[in-house]
Amino acid sequence: MEPRLSRLPGLPPASPACGLYVHVPFCLRKCRYCDFYSLAPPHPVSDYLEGVSAEIALAGKAGLSCDTVYLGGGTPSLLPAAAVAGILERLHGAFRIDTGAEVTLEANPGTVAGGQLASFRAAGVNRLNLGVQSLREEKLRFLGRIHGPAEAVRAFAAARAAGFERVGIDLIYGLPGESAGEWLSDLEAALALGPDHLSCYLLTIAPGTPLGRDLAAGRLQAVAEETAAELFLLTAARLAAGGFVHYEISNFARDLGGAGGPAVSRHNLKYWTGAPYLGFGPGAHSFLPPRRFWNLPDLGRWLAALRSGKPPAAGGEELDRGQRVLEALFLGLRTAWGVDLAGLREGLGWDLLAERAGAVAEFAGRGLLRVEGGRLFPTARGMLVAERLAVELS
């Protein structure tokens, strides 16, 4: 199944403005597959807010123009609405944030109560991403999520009632033993809610997590690569039929028609198009071309650095030309926009069609990509193996 490309030319081009990411490292309980940096209760919220304010003040000296803000985690919806409003205020004070900026908050369906979502909306959040993961009870239990299907349905309705016009849903598929029929019925249940955006992630089991230990001990078996590919292609086909544009390996945007175009995540586009972004909070990553750097993934050490007036970076790097070619190919082949061949040639001196003509023809023959109008486009099957293709083509 080819990704739907027909409406992509109508999309706004990737913005050169900066994206702002705030990592909120708190969760009520650790999910069984997760290795993101997050802390179980009790949460030192005031220490965290002090650190975020200090970090924003330090970075804000750059006076960058920004047009997206993303509060991710962890579980940002654990923060009181006043704390979210405070963070947004500080960001507005330190950066030139576009009046039409996309401001997203990730919410866990098990943590949204009462008028909290309306307060987030009033604070300036205009896009909500709900970590639903599944609408099947046994799947949520296996993943160790804190919510059940009914809470997910209630959270979605509450998001609409709170005035969110853009609501996205995250789903996970490819659990050990999950059949295509089971996954498709889960996907149907999510579609019935009417989301504007769907992120469908193949379950990855990180080593050292409870599921990782089960896997290592042979108590679990990961899904076979062919099964995963079949589920991925079924997902792409079902969502294309449902009016969603498959614009990145795991991401699908409802085609709103008219000038609106697909309801893509403008913030996440920054990561895939090489645009600059700045991250705040423990473990957050930043990219100010050509340099990328990342924060200490530990709240205590991150805060100690900030209290002594230092940037809380744990490390950084500048990519050499070969790494930049590899990255441009990998990122481009993950998206339905593909790779701009002239940009690659003029920007990085890599004439792909001259250097790798044989490999391009071979992958095109295998239905993984195609060249059209000066771009290299992946098919849906090609997106799935974007990393391998990028290595072969770089």
Nearer to ligand SF4 (CB atom), residue 38 or residue 268:
38
Count, in order, helices (H) and strands (E) of the chain: 16, 15
Nearer to ligand SF4 (CB atom), residue 15 or residue 108:
108
* Least distance in angstroms from the C-beta of 211 to ligand SF4: 11
Helix%, strand%, coil% for the chain, nearest 5: 45, 25, 30
Alpha-carbon gap, residue 235 to 381, rounded angstroms: 12
* Least distance in angstroms from the C-beta of 387 to ligand SF4: 23
Instruction: Specify the DSSP class assigned to residue 26.
Output: B
* Least distance in angstroms from the C-beta of 107 to ligand SF4: 10
Q: Where are the beta strands (DSSP E) in the chain?
A: 18-24, 65-73, 96-107, 127-133, 166-173, 197-202, 244-248, 251-254, 277-280, 285-288, 291-295, 313-318, 339-340, 369-372, 375-378
Nearer to ligand SF4 (CB atom), residue 109 or residue 274:
109
Q: How many residues does the structure list for the chain? A: 394
Which residues contribute to the site for ligand SF4 (CB under 6 A)?
A: 27, 30-31, 34, 36, 38, 73-75, 108, 131
Buried b (16+ CB within 10 A) or exposed e, 36-74: ebbbeeebeeeebbebbbbbbebbeeeebebbbbbbbbb
Closest CA to 31 of 74, 80, 79, 76: 74
* Least distance in angstroms from the C-beta of 279 to ligand SF4: 15
C-alpha distances out from residue 52 to 9, 48, 77, 83, 92, Å: 38, 6, 16, 11, 13
* Least distance in angstroms from the C-beta of 257 to ligand SF4: 33
Nearer to ligand SF4 (CB atom), residue 15 or residue 133:
133
Nearer to ligand SF4 (CB atom), residue 72 or residue 274:
72
* Least distance in angstroms from the C-beta of 294 to ligand SF4: 17
Nearer to ligand SF4 (CB atom), residue 97 or residue 200:
200
Closest CA to 126 of 110, 146, 109, 105: 105
Nearer to ligand SF4 (CB atom), residue 120 or residue 350:
120
* Least distance in angstroms from the C-beta of 34 to ligand SF4: 3
C-alpha distances out from residue 90 to 43, 190, 250, 302, Å: 21, 35, 32, 19
Nearer to ligand SF4 (CB atom), residue 95 or residue 120:
120
Place of tokens 């997203």: 104
* Least distance in angstroms from the C-beta of 111 to ligand SF4: 9
Nearer to ligand SF4 (CB atom), residue 143 or residue 359:
143
* Least distance in angstroms from the C-beta of 83 to ligand SF4: 18
Identify the three-state secondary structure at position 313. Answer: strand
